[in-house]
Amino acid sequence: MTSRRGFIKSGGLALFGIGLGGVPGFLIDAVAGTKPPGLFKRKKIMVCIFQRGAMDGLMAVTPFTDPYLKAARPTLFMSAASSGKNKPLIDLDGRFGLHPAMATFEQVFRDKRMAIVHGIGSPNNTRSHFDAQDFMESGTPFKKGTESGWLNRAVGLLGHDGATPFQGVSLTSSLPRSFYGDNPAVAISNLQDFNIQMRGNLKGANMAAKSFEDLYDQTSSGFLKETGKESFEAIKMLQKTDVRNYKPANNAVYPNTSLGNSLKQIAQLIKMDVGMEVAFAESGGWDTHFNQGTETGIFARNVNDLSESIMAFWADMGTLQDDVTVMTMTEFGRTVKQNGTGGTDHGRGSCNFILGNGVSGGKVHGLVNPLSIENLEDGRDLAVTTDFRSVFSEVADKHLGIHNDKVLFPDWNGKTIGVMAV
């Protein structure tokens, strides 16, 4: 095991955070008495958002000129032409229309900072959520036994000893499959909880913390000692800012949703310079078998949350935007034809969004053929024309500088499609 120690860099911790309150006494003592943990030189950060449940890519980004789609979705099809009562799709390029609830994406798309890949998915045609998510997160679409997840391997391939406990962070209660593996990754559902806690007894907590710190410092077990040290340094790093009263930059307003809160905390971690390079968040509710709605309804609510959360994050990043690329992913798409209950069933290809200053934006990448039956996969679904590994590996390569696809995606030989500009 490579050493994860040694990230106490000298100098670093200007005591600017102390005045903000919420810093336990022992930390002040500790900071005064020992070498403080240092700031990390900010590196590039990839933020992945997994949309669990399989997003209907054909409704998010609709090939609205397609007569087959219109016929297959009598009550779900939306048009780009404005009519009196309904909000139209946002015409992106004369062929694809963005769902009106995602209007905030339009500007970044026009500014060429957002790319969309349509017809993206897995070569394994399973339509089981579990299997498809498992394959996408392990990055090995035909192999269940792969122990590690692709994001964990990505952390391992960054090419430098992270020496920070925060190199890979998942804003979830437990580590997602994507982060399974031997490289450092931590699951945090709430930054405020990242401390020694004794409710209503701050002094007690401080004393306990001091005792723990001493105990772990002297233990004979190597990795307990190491990790103990990291834990306390991590606490100190997080204490540099007032996590509770965070004020996003540029008046960004995060939706008060699970995804909104996750992205807000990712933004905080980025600004704290804790050395995070891969971040992960989740969004749920995409399994729309029943009444998925059109410009309003459950699907509209979901895409609205997705786009508002991402755009609040983007605004909050402000001058740091160059360092960050956001990528969404979902396990598969949904049937071309709507079902008997106003929804759609499990399908194959979907679409994803990539946001960043380095993307080849303003374009719907990939291949979406006319949705006539002979073009559909198994006679029913939008065909997968772009392997998710092609896009994931390109983003990881161009943004994070990870070149070793054979490790990132062991069975992947295919080409990239140019979703990144540089």
Partner 1 sequence: MKTSLKVICSFVFLFIAAILFSSFRNKRSAKFDFPYKQAGLSERQAAAHLLSRFTYGAKNGDVDEVVKMGLGKWFEQQLNGSIKDEQLNELLSKFEDINLSNVEVEDKYPRSAKVLRMAIRDGSIHKDSVNKGDRKEYRKQLQNYMQTKGLKPQQELYRQFISQKILRAAYSNNQLHELLTDFWFNHFNVSLTKNQCASFVPAFERDVIRPNVTGKFSNLLLSTAKSPAMLVYLDNFSSSGTSASMGMKAEEMGMQTMQEKSFQRRLKNRKLRQLDSGMLNKVKKLQANKKKIGLNENYAREVMELHTLGVEGGYTQNDVTQAARVLTGWTLAPMGDDGGYGAGMKKIVEKIGADNLQKRGFVREGDFLFVPTRHDNGEKTVLGKKFPAGGGYQEGVELLTMLAHHPSTAKFISRKLATRFVNDNPSPKLVDAMARTFSKTEGDIRQVMITMVSSPEFWSKAALREKTKSPFELAISAVRGLDAEITQPYQLFTWINKMGQKMYYYQAPTGFPDRGQYWINTGSLLNRMNFGLALASQRIPGVKINLKALNASHEPESAEAALLTYSKMIMPERNLEETVKRLKPMLNDPELGSKVEKAAEKAPVQQPVATMMNEDTELMTDVKKKDAVKKNSDKDMLAQVVGVIIGSPEFQRK
Q: Map the footprint of partner 1 across residues 59-118, applying CB under 8 A.
A: 68, 71-72
Which listed residue (106, 131, 282, 397) binds partner 1 by CB under 8 A? 131
Residue 19 near partner 1 by CB under 8 A: no
> Do you know the residue count of the chain?
422
Residue 196 near partner 1 by CB under 8 A: yes
Which listed residue (10, 82, 174, 413) binds partner 1 by CB under 8 A? 174
End-to-end CA gap in the chain: 34
Q: Answer for the pair 150, 181: CB distance below 8 angstroms, yes or no.
A: no
Residue 277 near partner 1 by CB under 8 A: no
Which listed residue (175, 243, 272, 419) binds partner 1 by CB under 8 A? 175
Q: Give 16 or 130: the residue with its C-beta nearer to partner 1.
A: 130
Q: Give 68 or 246: the residue with its C-beta nearer to partner 1.
A: 68
Residue 345 near partner 1 by CB under 8 A: yes
Least distance from partner 1 to the Cβ atom of residue 74, Å: 9
Number of chain positions touching partner 1 (CB under 8 A): 81
Instruction: Give the integer Cα–Cα distance in Å for 246 and 191.
Output: 11
Which listed residue (204, 284, 318, 401) binds partner 1 by CB under 8 A? 204
Binding segment (CB under 8 A) for partner 1, from list 28-36, 110-118, 178-186, 351-359: 178-186
Residue 298 near partner 1 by CB under 8 A: yes
Q: Give 71 or 81: the residue with its C-beta nearer to partner 1.
A: 71
Q: Answer for the pair 135, 141: CB distance below 8 angstroms, yes or no.
A: yes
Binding segment (CB under 8 A) for partner 1, from list 215-223, 250-258, 391-399, 408-416: 215-223
Which listed residue (104, 122, 152, 231) binds partner 1 by CB under 8 A? 231
Residue 33 near partner 1 by CB under 8 A: no
Helices (H) and strands (E) in the chain, counts: 12, 12
Which listed residue (42, 43, 95, 380) binds partner 1 by CB under 8 A? 380
CA distances from 29 to 22, 166, 365 (A): 14, 24, 55
Least distance from partner 1 to the Cβ atom of residue 247, Å: 25
Residue 2 near partner 1 by CB under 8 A: no
Amino acid at 145: G
Task: Let me know if 253 is exposed, middle or buried by CB neighbors in 10 A (0-12, 13-18, 19+).
Answer: middle
Residues 6+ apart with CB under 8 A from 203: 25
Residue 58 near partner 1 by CB under 8 A: no
- CA nearest neighbour of 280 among 198, 189, 360, 216: 189
Longest dimension (CA), the chain: 74
Which listed residue (51, 309, 335, 338) binds partner 1 by CB under 8 A? 335
Burial call 328-361: b when 16+ CB within 10 Å, e when fewer: bbbbbbbbbbbeeebbbbbbbbbbbbbbbbbbbb
Amino acid at 212: F
Helix 222-238 with 25-33: angle, nearest 10 deg = 110
Instruction: Give the integer Cα–Cα distance in Å for 209 and 374.
Output: 65
Q: Give 107 or 173: the residue with its C-beta nearer to partner 1.
A: 173
Least distance from partner 1 to the Cβ atom of residue 30, Å: 14
Residue 245 near partner 1 by CB under 8 A: no
Instruction: Give the integer Cα–Cα distance in Å for 273 and 164.
Output: 10
